[in-house]
Chains A and B, each alone.
Chain A
Amino acid sequence: AQTVTQSQPEMSVQEAETVTLSCTYDTSESDYYLFWYKQPPSRQMILVIRQEAYKQQNATENRFSVNFQKAAKSFSLKISDSQLGDAAMYFCVRHSGGSNYKLTFGKGTLLTVNP
């Protein structure tokens, strides 16, 4: 089975500091998408950022950026200037390319932001 691995079950960061969440994945495809979703205690799943595998440039969305290493199959998320509202479960997600629209989720990293 093609998997997504998040090796950090829990992480914590001080408010205003930077934290990096790790993710590795397995795939035999050359065309695919990667995402980070967050799920706060409200349980609403929210898209944070996405990366298209054919793009070499790392995606950024305001304080969120990724380090996409295609050859290493690594996709880490950096959160800069952490805010209390960033506290949530973060899921690394892989989408298979082509007409198969299934998402494969990692087990998640629980991020705590300390004031």
Chain B
Amino acid sequence: SAVISQKPSRDICQRGTSLTIQCQVDSQVTMMFWYRQQPGQSLTLIATANQGSEATYESGFVIDKFPISRPNLTFSTLTVSNMSPEDSSIYLCSVRKRGGGNEQFFGPGTRLTVL
């Protein structure tokens, strides 16, 4: 498994501002992912965070709105830019470890509320 931490655990933000969420893993991992979980909903993949290169975004998600960084094999950030109330969600990072069974391990999530 992997121990994953996220900061902040929750935040309340004003419309039009931006928030950066950090994801830290206790060991080097091959792949890191960012998901969004809207209230009462399932998880939707936002993007795959690639180490040393631009993230790969899923349909419906764009870099200008959700810029992602991954400077090394244990850390990534997701920024939610120019927030609106529709961005109120739980944001989770996950990791896949080399040699694993393709399962992903998830961080505890960041609960974001936009007023």
Chain A residues close to B by CB (< 8 Å): 33, 35, 37, 42-47, 50, 52, 91, 95, 101-103, 105-108
Q: Does B114 contact A (CB under 8 A)?
A: no
- List 25 A–B pairs whose Cβ atoms lie within 8 Å, in order of A's numbering: A33-B101, A33-B102, A35-B103, A37-B106, A43-B109, A44-B106, A44-B109, A45-B43, A45-B92, A45-B109, A46-B106, A47-B103, A47-B105, A50-B102, A91-B42, A95-B102, A101-B31, A101-B104, A102-B48, A103-B43, A103-B45, A103-B104, A105-B42, A107-B42, A108-B42
Inter-chain contact total with CB atoms closer than 8 Å: 47
| Smallest beta-carbon distance A45→chain B, Å | 4
Bound complex: CA A42 to CA B96 (Å): 22
Q: Tell me which of B45, B92, B103 has the highest count of chain A C-beta atoms within 10 A of its own C-beta.
A: B103
- Residues A43 and B108 in contact, CB atoms below 8 Å apart: yes
B7 at the interface (CB under 8 A from A): no
B90: A residues at CB distance < 8 A = 43
Bound Cα distance from A44 to B111, whole angstroms = 12
**In the complex, are the beta carbons of A50 and B41 less than 8 A apart?**
no
